[in-house]
Amino acid sequence: MLGATSSSAVSAWVLRTPTQAVGFRIAGRGLIGTYDQGLSIYRIAGQWHTRFSPSADELANADRHYQGGYRHVLSDAERADLIAGGFADNIIQEEDTV
């Protein structure tokens, strides 16, 4: 058929790292506003941690690290590990058309 296009949906499991509201001030004016900043998720010796900025030593010792504020496409094994670690609410299924 002329002009017909074909597409199919491809889905992926995606981690969106947790966020925390951060306030900012201007001298003499008090709290001006807040914004959400992404927290990094990393695992050391089987224990999961979340932090704004993990240290170089923490990252060197981590066997998994997902930088805060980014979208991370997950393998099935990564998804299972994150769910077991308590991050199920941060995992979504995205569909994209190809």
User: Which helix (H) or strand (E) segment is 11 a member of?
Assistant: strand 9-16
Q: Is 45 left (phi over 0), alpha (psi -120 to 50) or beta?
A: left
Query: What is this structure's pTM?
Result: 0.77
Note the pLDDT tens digit of each residue in 51-92: 999 999 999 999 999 999 999 999 999 999 999 999 999 999
Answer whether residue 12 is part of any domain: no
Within a domain: 35: yes
Give the integer Cα–Cα distance in Å for 40 and 53.
7
Residue-range definition of the domain harbouring residue 76: 17-97
Q: Is residue 28 part of a domain?
A: yes
- Look at residue 68 and tell me if it is in a domain: yes
Residue 22 belongs to some domain of the structure: yes
User: In this structure, is residue 81 part of a structural domain?
Assistant: yes
Other Cβ atoms less than 10 A from the Cβ of 91: the count is 16
> Which whole-number Å values give the CA distances from 48 to 26, 51, 73, in the listed order?
35, 10, 18
Residue 67 in any domain: the answer is yes
Q: Hey, which residues does 20 pair with through a beta bridge? A: 37
User: Is residue 49 included in any domain, yes or no?
Assistant: yes
